[in-house]
């Protein structure tokens, strides 16, 4: 199989994985925000569910570290691509497989 096609297949999975990590980080951050709002809305003290908030912060930190690791993976794979002699940009301009999901509008209840 031609190297460029193999590299493109890997690049597509890389982009999907990067988007998934970013999405998980965004969702976890929104969850933390909702947890803080909920505590305030039910008039609970700061110590209420504090351990859950601590665990949530740990999860967000872990997702942030995963994101940093994915940036490293991206850089390493880019170097590997160059070592293989592949000079084209693989799917960077056309990430339609990611945009399809991002273009969807999500409505949420407010208030």
Looking at residue 63, its pLDDT comes to 98
Separation CA 82–CA 45 (nearest Å): 56
Looking at residue 105, its pLDDT comes to 46
Q: List, for the chain, all residue ranges whose pLDDT scores fall below the cut of 50.
A: 93-94, 97, 99, 101-102, 104-105
Looking at residue 93, its pLDDT comes to 47
pLDDT, tens digit, for every residue of 31-45?
A: 999 999 999 999 999
Separation CA 46–CA 4 (nearest Å): 55
């Amino acid at each position: 199989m031609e190297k460029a096609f193999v590299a493109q297949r890997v690049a597509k999975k890389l982009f999907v994985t990067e988007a998934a990590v970013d999405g998980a980080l965004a969702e976890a951050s929104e969850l933390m925000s909702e947890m803080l709002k909920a505590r305030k809305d039910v008039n609970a003290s700061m110590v209420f569910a504090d351990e859950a908030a601590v665990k949530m912060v740990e999860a967000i930190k872990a997702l942030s570290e995963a994101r940093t690791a994915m940036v490293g993976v991206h850089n390493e794979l880019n170097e590997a691509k160059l070592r293989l002699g592949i000079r084209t940009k693989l799917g960077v301009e056309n990430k339609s497989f990611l945009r399809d999901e991002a273009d969807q509008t999500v409505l949420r209840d407010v208030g």
